[in-house]
Amino acid sequence: MSADDFIVTPWHVEGEIDYDKLIKKFGTEKISSELQSRLKKITGEDHFMLRRGIFFSHRDMNRILDDYEKGKKFFLYTGRGPSGHTHIGHLVPWIFAKWLQEKFDVKMYFQLTDDEKFYSKSGLSLEDTKKYAYENALDFIALGFDPKKTKIIINTRNIQTLYPIAAQVAKKINFSNTKATFGFTNETNLGMIFYTSLQSAPCFIEDESVLIPLGVDQDPHFRLTRDVAPKIGKQKPALIHNIMIPALEGPGGKMSASDESGTIYTTDTPNMVKKKINKYAFSGGQPDIEKHRKLGGNPDIDVSYQYLRIFFEPEDKKLKEIYDDYKSGKLLSGELKAILIEKINKFLEVHQKKREEAKNRIEEFLLENK
Could you say which of 168, 218, 242, 333 contacts ligand TRP (CB under 6 A)? 218
* 297 is a contact residue toward ligand TRP (CB under 6 A): no
Query: What's the CA gap between 166 and 196, in Å, rounded?
Result: 9
Stretch that binds ligand TRP, among 73-81, 229-237, 300-308, 332-340 (CB under 6 A): 73-81
CB 239 within 8 Å of CB 203: no
Query: What's the CA gap between 251 and 258, in Å, rounded?
Result: 17
* Shorter beta-carbon distance to ligand TRP: residue 206 or 325: 206
Query: What's the CA gap between 42 and 104, in Å, rounded?
Result: 9
Q: How far is the CB of 77 from ligand TRP (least distance, A)?
A: 6
Could you say which of 8, 10, 59, 292 contacts ligand TRP (CB under 6 A)? 10
Could you say which of 60, 115, 116, 313 contacts ligand TRP (CB under 6 A)? 116
Of 81-110, binders to ligand TRP (CB under 6 A) are 81
* 214 is a contact residue toward ligand TRP (CB under 6 A): yes
Rounded to whole angstroms, the maximal C-alpha distance in the chain is: 67
* 157 is a contact residue toward ligand TRP (CB under 6 A): no
* 263 is a contact residue toward ligand TRP (CB under 6 A): no
Q: How far is the CB of 199 from ligand TRP (least distance, A)?
A: 5
* 80 is a contact residue toward ligand TRP (CB under 6 A): yes
Binding mask 16-45 for ligand TRP (x = CB under 6 A): ------------------------------
Q: How far is the CB of 218 from ligand TRP (least distance, A)?
A: 4
69-92 burial, b at 16+ Cβ within 10 Å, e below that, comes to eeeeebbbbbbbbbbbbbbbbbbb
Q: How far is the CB of 87 from ligand TRP (least distance, A)?
A: 12
* Shorter beta-carbon distance to ligand TRP: residue 130 or 274: 130
The string of DSSP letters for 170-223 reads HTT--HHHHHHHH---TTS-HHHHHHHHHHHGGGGSSSSEEEEEEEGGGHHHHH
- The kind and range of the H/E element at 364 are helix 362-365
* Shorter beta-carbon distance to ligand TRP: residue 97 or 331: 97
Candidates 23, 177, 91, 159; CA nearest to 354 is: 91
Q: How far is the CB of 111 from ligand TRP (least distance, A)?
A: 4
* 78 is a contact residue toward ligand TRP (CB under 6 A): yes
* Shorter beta-carbon distance to ligand TRP: residue 55 or 77: 77
* 113 is a contact residue toward ligand TRP (CB under 6 A): yes
- The kind and range of the H/E element at 108 are strand 108-112
How does strand 150-154 pair with strand 108-112?
Answer: parallel
Query: What's the CA gap between 331 and 308, in Å, rounded?
Result: 15
Stretch that binds ligand TRP, among 138-146, 163-171, 210-218, 284-292 (CB under 6 A): 210-218
Could you give the angle at the alpha carbon of 47 between the alpha carbons of 42 and 52, nearest 5°? 125
Residue 67 amino acid letter: D
Stretch that binds ligand TRP, among 29-37, 111-119, 135-143, 160-168 (CB under 6 A): 111-119
* Shorter beta-carbon distance to ligand TRP: residue 212 or 336: 212
Of 183-202, binders to ligand TRP (CB under 6 A) are 199
Query: What's the CA gap between 48 and 227, in Å, rounded?
Result: 32
CB 238 within 8 Å of CB 59: yes
Q: How far is the CB of 187 from ligand TRP (least distance, A)?
A: 20
Could you say which of 23, 108, 166, 212 contacts ligand TRP (CB under 6 A)? 212
Query: What's the CA gap between 330 and 70, in Å, rounded?
Result: 52
Could you give the angle at the alpha carbon of 80 between the alpha carbons of 131 and 300, nearest 5°? 125
Interacting residue ranges for ligand TRP, rule: CB under 6 A: 10, 77-81, 111, 113, 116, 199, 212, 214, 218
